[in-house]
Amino acid sequence: MPRRVAILGSTGSIGRNALDVVRRHPGRFEVVGLVAGRQVQRLAEQVREFRPRAVAVADDAARRELLGLLAGRAPEVRVGEQGAAEVTVGTGAEVVVAAIVGAAGLVPVLAACSAGAVVALANKEALVVAGELMVRAARENGAVLVPVDSEHSAIHQCLRSGGHGEARRIVLTASGGPFRGRRRAEMERVTSAEALRHPTWQMGPKITIDSATLMNKGLEVIEAHWLFGMVPAQIDVLVHPQSIIHSMVEFRDGSVVAQLGLADMRLPIQYALDYPARHDGITEPLDLAAIGTLTFERPDRESFRCLDLAYRAIEEGGDAPARLNAANEVAVDAFLHGRIGFLEIPRVIEHELDRAAAGPVFELAELVESDRAARGAARTFIERERTTP
């Protein structure tokens, strides 16, 4: 029987790679649900190829356009985050690829956890915002969180070589992004086009900017905390520009186990889709002799301040990671639209963390409110800075 798969964020970089893994393994998977935002033309092509039972799009305008394009041959089309959640649970998906970008993916990911699915998690922001709620929902409902982020996929694989409680430390590797080696002053005037030129990975725009600021690594530290139950002091970051070692685990006896592979997201996606089994892969084999040299350096935390802000948020706990994430999403969007400079991104986030003490979190509604307030405060801060001479 093919494994039933729903893909949230099917029109994005991870979503398209996930569909490629499915396409290249005929008979092994059945796509039962697709969720996208506003790239309706691309979604219509995916619907024609994969024939899902139901789809969801961001709004009514996208729904009308999709129905027009599919001219009477459309599956059920839902709208908004509730619609996405319905596609997640209502199609009988066994595996849900969570690849919507940002906090917009939170409600459907929580629905997938509550439905007891295998959640192939790329949408790290959902875990950053609501880690405790997600882990609890997964535990209570028998859902399995299998990371798609290459670093966390690596850790997940490395941990399979040791017993529970035997890991002492994990080391997340980072490419260092396009501005590795630059000092703060040299990044004052960098443009979004420069920041979008990632040296090793092809990704969507938001995560590419996060990689340039090192906030991506900061979000990954928080993600690792929730996925693997590690405290911040057990999570290290090491810059490895070749992006071949995807991360490592140090065990209590001093052994270090690493996972290696080329920078191709289809590898961790396939790992999550097939978990706990392994099947023939579709990526190029790794030729270490051809690569020759692997290098490592410590991150420059003075120039790339976002990493420490993420550690701070996790130490503060409560809603601090959710507010960090919200301020970062607003700041990255403002940078991509030319409204703020690159070095202002950490300033917007730090302002949000300074603005309020971390509040406790018991329910999703509290996080939604923290997210809303942080976005408002970040936008106000950006406007004030822009208009102040």
Ligand X SMILES: NC(=O)c1ccc[n+]([C@@H]2O[C@H](COP(=O)([O-])OP(=O)(O)OC[C@H]3O[C@@H](n4cnc5c(N)ncnc54)[C@H](OP(=O)(O)O)[C@@H]3O)[C@@H](O)[C@H]2O)c1
Give the chain's largest Cα–Cα span. 65
125 in contact with ligand X (CB under 6 A): yes
- Which stretch in 85-93, 117-125, 170-178, 379-387 sits in contact with ligand X by CB under 6 A? 117-125
Q: How far apart are CA 267 and CA 275, in angstroms?
A: 12
Binding ligand X by CB under 6 A: which of 18, 21, 54, 58? 58
- Tell me if 110 sits within 8 A of 89, measured CB to CB: no
155 in contact with ligand X (CB under 6 A): no
Looking up tokens 């208009």, which residue turns up? Answer: 387
DSSP conformation class of 294: -
- Which stretch in 120-128, 183-191, 231-239, 341-349 sits in contact with ligand X by CB under 6 A? 120-128
- CA end-to-end distance (rounded Å), the chain: 65
Binding ligand X by CB under 6 A: which of 63, 124, 198, 225? 124
Name the residue among 309, 268, 314, 295 with its Cα closest to residue 173: 295
Other Cβ atoms within 10 Å of 41 Cβ, number: 11
Binding ligand X by CB under 6 A: which of 101, 112, 120, 237? 101
Tokens found for residue 51: 């024939």
Q: Shortest approach of ligand X to residue 80 CB, angstroms? A: 7
Name the residue among 255, 243, 239 with its Cα closest to residue 169: 255
Q: Shortest approach of ligand X to residue 204 CB, angstroms? A: 3
38 in contact with ligand X (CB under 6 A): yes
Q: Shortest approach of ligand X to residue 311 CB, angstroms? A: 18
Tokens found for residue 115: 């439905």
122 in contact with ligand X (CB under 6 A): yes
String of contacts with ligand X for each residue 60-99, x by CB under 6 A? ------------------------x--------------x
Name the residue among 121, 117, 165, 159 with its Cα closest to residue 142: 117
Q: Shortest approach of ligand X to residue 222 CB, angstroms? A: 12
Q: Shortest approach of ligand X to residue 262 CB, angstroms? A: 13
35 in contact with ligand X (CB under 6 A): yes
Other Cβ atoms within 10 Å of 12 Cβ, number: 24
String of contacts with ligand X for each residue 187-206, x by CB under 6 A? --------------x-xx-x
Side chain identity at residue 24, one-letter code: R
CB proximity list for 318: less than 8 A, separation 6 or greater:
358, 359, 360, 361
C-beta closer to ligand X: residue 201 or 228? 201
C-beta closer to ligand X: residue 221 or 381? 221
In the range 230-259, which residues lie near ligand X by CB under 6 A?
none
C-beta closer to ligand X: residue 161 or 202? 202
Name the residue among 157, 213, 239 with its Cα closest to residue 328: 213
Helix (H) or strand (E) holding 26: none
Give backbone dihedrals phi and psi of 249, rounded to 5 degrees, phi first.
-125, 130
Q: Shortest approach of ligand X to residue 195 CB, angstroms? A: 14
Binding site for ligand X (CB under 6 A): 9-15, 35-39, 58, 84, 99-101, 104, 122-125, 149, 201, 203-204, 206-207, 265
